[in-house]
Each structure stands twice: as C-alpha cells, then as structure tokens.
Chain A
Amino acid sequence: MKLDQNAKYQESHEWVRQEGELIVCGISDHAQESLSDVVYVEFPEVGDSFSQGETFGVVESVKAASDLYMPMGGEIVAVNEALEDEPELVNSDPYGAGWMIKFKPAALEEWDSLLSPADYQQVAEAEE
C-alpha cells in the first residue's frame, strides 16, 4: 500500500493535502486497489459547499459504487475534469493525477482531526 506522507486521511479512505490556501482531495491507494478498475467519478459542482463528513460525489468501479465524503468542510473550487475521460488515473496515480476535488476549507482546525499516514495505514491494514 502506497501512502503520501504529506497527506492526511480519514477512515472512509479519502486523503487530503494542503496546497497553498486550498485543500486537494482524492482516494487512497488502498481504496483504489479495493475498488479495482474505476470507470466513473461523479463530481460536485464548483461553488457547492459541504460540511465535514457530507457526501460530495461517487466513485464507481467495475465492482462497486461508493460515496465520497468530505474530510473537511469547505467550498469546491475545482474538480478534476481529466477523470471524465480517463477515470483510470484514479487507479494509476491516486495521489497525483487521480486527484478529485480542490476546496477552500471552512475551518482549518478540522485538519487536525484527520488520520496521519501511519494511523491510516493501521486502519487500512486492519481491513485486509
């Protein structure tokens, strides 16, 4: 299982990383591997606001469809449109080209409530 050491995680397998004033979010390597081939990602609209824990989209693979949950509250400023044509980027590069949304966080302190890479690794390994 690959981990991005600069990211934080939550138990539902999303990761977040700080980029300037924005937060980038995607799903973990462990998540993409469990889902197998991703065929579709349903995005929110730019400008939509969500609180921590709310559903912002759906990731669909040949095996399953799973809701995506906001690791932190915030307003969507960008979605990764490249995934519309190449959803497989979620599988090949989950922490890079396979990112899903960027949002402006409503409360930065929510960052502290998330799991460190090491803690998340334990959660993910316990699932296997």
Chain B
Amino acid sequence: MSYVANTANDQQAMLAAIGVDTVEALFEVVPQAVRFPTLELPRSLSEIEVLAEMGRLADENAEANHYSWFLGAGAYNHFVPSVVPQLQMRAEFYTAYTPYQPEASQGTLQAIFEYQSMVAELTGMGVVNASHYDGSTSLAEAAIMSVNSTKGKRTKILVSPNVHPQYREVLKTYLQGTDLRVEGDEEPANDLAALTGMLDKETACLIVQSPNFFGELEDLEGLAERVHGAGALLVIHTDPISLGLFKPPGAYGADIVTGEGQSLGNNLNFGGPYLGIFATTDKLVRKMPGRVVGQTVDTAGKRGFVLTLSTREQHIRREKATSNICTNQGLIALGAAIYLAALGKQGLRQVAELCYHKAHYAAAEIDRLAGYEVVKRRPFFKEFVVKCPKPAGEIARQLTEQQILPGYVLSRSYPERSHELLVCVTEMNSKAQIDQLVRALKEVA
C-alpha cells in the first residue's frame, strides 16, 4: 500500500473535477505582491550552532532542577522515577497515534486497561476512562455529564469557590452557548454548608475540590447524602498523590471523580501535556465521556483487550455522544500507570507522607516568622496559604533572584489578595531548601 497520497495524477484528476488548470490558479485570489514575499531570515546554522543557541535559550528558563521550587497551584514538582520515561519512550508506545485496533495494539490497550484499573482503585470508583486532556477538561466534562444524566432537565451547576480558578474558567468556556449556568463559585464565603443550601431541583451537580485550590482538605463527610437528597450528583476533583494518604472520594459517595494526573510520573512540561483523570460509578458508566478499554477473551479463550461501551462515543452516536471531544492523553496515562506500578501502594503512601510532613514543617517554620502568618482554616495536604508582611509579588521577585520560587502569588487569580502566597512543598524539597526559603522570607520581610 502506498502512503504517498496526492500524486501528480491525483492532482490532475482533482483539478479536472473542479475545472481549474493548475494548482497555482487556485491562489490567484491572493494578491501577487504577498504571494511569495521575500523572507528575511538569518543565515542557516549548523546543527552544533543550533543546539548551542537552543541551549542558551533554555537556560533562560527558571526550571525545577535549578531552582528551589515551592510553586504548585495545579502543576506539581514530584519525582519521576527513571523507569517511567524509559518504558514510556519505547517506540511501540511513543510513535503510534490512536492505536486502538485490537488485532494490532494489545500492548497499548492493556496499558490503558491497567491505568484504568489502578486509578479506579486509587479513587475508590467503579470505572475510569482512558483520560482527557487535563484536570480542567475532566472537570468540565463531569459537569456536562451530570447535566446529561438528568437528560438535560437540570441546568444549574453548583461550584465551590475553592475550585482552581483556571479550572472554573475552562468550565465556563465549555458551557458557552449552552443554557447551563454555573453558580456559587464567585462568592469566596460560600463554604460547603452554604453551597448545600443552594441545592435545588435545577441543580445537576455540586463540584468541590479536595485538597482544594488553597491546599485544604474539605469536610466531605455526609456531603454526598445532602447532594443526593436534592437529586444532584457529587463531583469531587482531587490530587491523586493525596490519595496515598487520605480516604478516596469514592468512599465519600462521589458520583464522579476528576483529577490532574500530571503528578503521576509526568514532568511539569511548562503546563502540558497533562493528564485528565475521570472516574465514575458503574451505575453512570453509560453517561461517561471518553474511551474505555475492556478486558475480554478471544475466540481461543485467551485474555485480550478492546475498546468497549463505544456506543456512547461520537463515531457511533454522533451529536448525541456523551462527549464530542474524544482525544485522550494515552502516553501520559501510560506514564501514570508505570509510575503507580513502580511505586506500589506503599510507595505512593510514602510520597504522600513526605509531602505532608515536609509541608507541615515548612508551614510551622514560616508561621513563626515575624510578619508572616499561615492561614489555618482547615487541615491541609501539601499546599498552604501564607499572609505576608508586604505584597507577595514583590517577595516572589526578590526570592527568584536567589533562585527560589516561593509559591504562587495569589493576586494573579484574586487581585484583592495582594499579600498572600500559596506555598507548595513536595518530596522534592529537601530540609535544607525549606530552611533556605524560611531564611529568605525572613530577610525580605
């Protein structure tokens, strides 16, 4: 089979069909003067010169290997064991695009199946899909699925103000042009009690994040009963690393669990590609968006893997599909599966404990500093908010000069919170780094 389409003969046939003599004639509408402008490009470089130039540009970045990194807010600097890229970069996995034919792709299908199975265990849910673009798109899909599960009769989506502000923006972008509305998230004082008070017959779901954007663990006990009592679904967005230590959302009665899977064996990558985790209950599986790989047996009775429950998807259901965005992050999901398999249950718990204890050590030390105060509304996992004696943006600028990124400057999302810093501590931060951060904060106070 020839992979060279569009031969000269093909072109002649196509031109004849539309009644045009030459390909150039197709471009006659473009003014002559701009058709082939002279490009003023620098002289071409040798490979050695190109690599040197790219290296110089790359060195201008502040990246996690050369900075004391206390920046989180949705993108986390966790350790990536060497086994993850080693296996993930194998050509069989790395080069193929949407390789789902069961007769040719058992390896990829099994890897996705294993990913689904491990994430199902981690989240405490019945079924997991083959992933979405990132945590924010998973969250938006969860909102739409909640509405669809009421056959579109309920159009209100209640969202906690403690959900990541950028995720809330993505959600609102997804909902543009629909009659669905987001409520609850613009008022910072809306705690879970206030939000459950806003549940009504119009409400399709309540979306909460725990640990929330500010790192705090929400009080999820009894929440599902209140949400279900109003006939709505409970969507919990979570940090998969936190599940090494805390009770999974499934155990709290969540109907849909979403998460950002970047933490699981994937580098920061300047913000992408990331991994959208999406899990739900067996009961809701037919409303779930995205692909699912299932386990079956072939005609000889041998174990095999195939895409399953495809009738939800757009190649079959067209405009009535559960979602019309079917792209997943297969390679990143594979990385997450390798990461989870390499760490195991104990390893993941250890990572979570390291994050927890280091973050609590850092919080205690910073809280002791004159002028600084750690916000202690709720228990927290690996991130916490610090009130600073001067604008947080100024502190971040000063510390960056010392190769310390002290955290996320909250005024970037909340202009009124000018003196607050969201600090993240992971297993990657040594005690020496934390002590250096504390000293630097003291000096600039």
User: In the complex, which residues of chain B have a beta carbon less than 8 angstroms from the beta carbon of A67?
Assistant: 320
Considering the complex, which residues of chain B in the window 274-297 have a beta carbon less than 8 Å from any beta carbon of chain A?
286
User: In the complex, which residues of chain A have a beta carbon less than 8 angstroms from the beta carbon of B286?
Assistant: 40, 42, 60
Q: Determine if A118 is an interface residue (Cβ-Cβ < 8 Å).
A: no
User: In the complex, which residues of chain B have a beta carbon less than 8 angstroms from the beta carbon of A60?
Assistant: 286, 311
Considering the complex, which residues of chain B in the window 133-156 have a beta carbon less than 8 Å from any beta carbon of chain A?
151
User: In the complex, which residues of chain B have a beta carbon less than 8 angstroms from the beta carbon of A42?
Assistant: 286
Complexed CA–CA distance, A3 and B111 (Å): 48
Complexed CA–CA distance, A45 and B153 (Å): 11
- Contact status A64-B311, CB under 8 Å: yes
> Which of the four size classes fits the interface of chain A?
under 10
Q: Determine if A65 is an interface residue (Cβ-Cβ < 8 Å).
A: yes
Q: In whole Å, how far is B288's beta carbon from the nearest beta carbon of chain A?
A: 13
Complexed CA–CA distance, A65 and B313 (Å): 10
Q: Determine if B316 is an interface residue (Cβ-Cβ < 8 Å).
A: yes
Complexed CA–CA distance, A42 and B286 (Å): 9
Q: In whole Å, how far is A115's beta carbon from the nearest beta carbon of chain B?
A: 26
Closest residue of chain A to B311 (Cβ to Cβ) is A65
- Contact status A64-B320, CB under 8 Å: no
Q: Determine if B376 is an interface residue (Cβ-Cβ < 8 Å).
A: no
**Interface mask (B318-343 → A, CB under 8 Å = 1, otherwise 0):** 00100000000000000000000000
Complexed CA–CA distance, A44 and B150 (Å): 10
Complexed CA–CA distance, A65 and B286 (Å): 12
Closest residue of chain A to B310 (Cβ to Cβ) is A65
User: In the complex, which residues of chain A have a beta carbon less than 8 angstroms from the beta carbon of B151?
Assistant: 44-45
Complexed CA–CA distance, A83 and B316 (Å): 22
User: In the complex, which residues of chain B have a beta carbon less than 8 angstroms from the beta carbon of A45?
Assistant: 151
Partner among A40, A44, A64 whose Cβ is within 8 Å of the Cβ of B316: A64
A-B contact pairs, 12 of them (CB 8 A): A40-B286, A42-B286, A44-B151, A45-B151, A60-B286, A60-B311, A64-B311, A64-B316, A65-B311, A65-B316, A65-B317, A67-B320
B residues whose Cβ falls under 8 Å from a Cβ of A: 151, 286, 311, 316-317, 320
New A-B pairs, 8, CB < 8 Å, besides A40-B286, A65-B316, A65-B317 = A42-B286, A44-B151, A45-B151, A60-B286, A60-B311, A64-B316, A65-B311, A67-B320
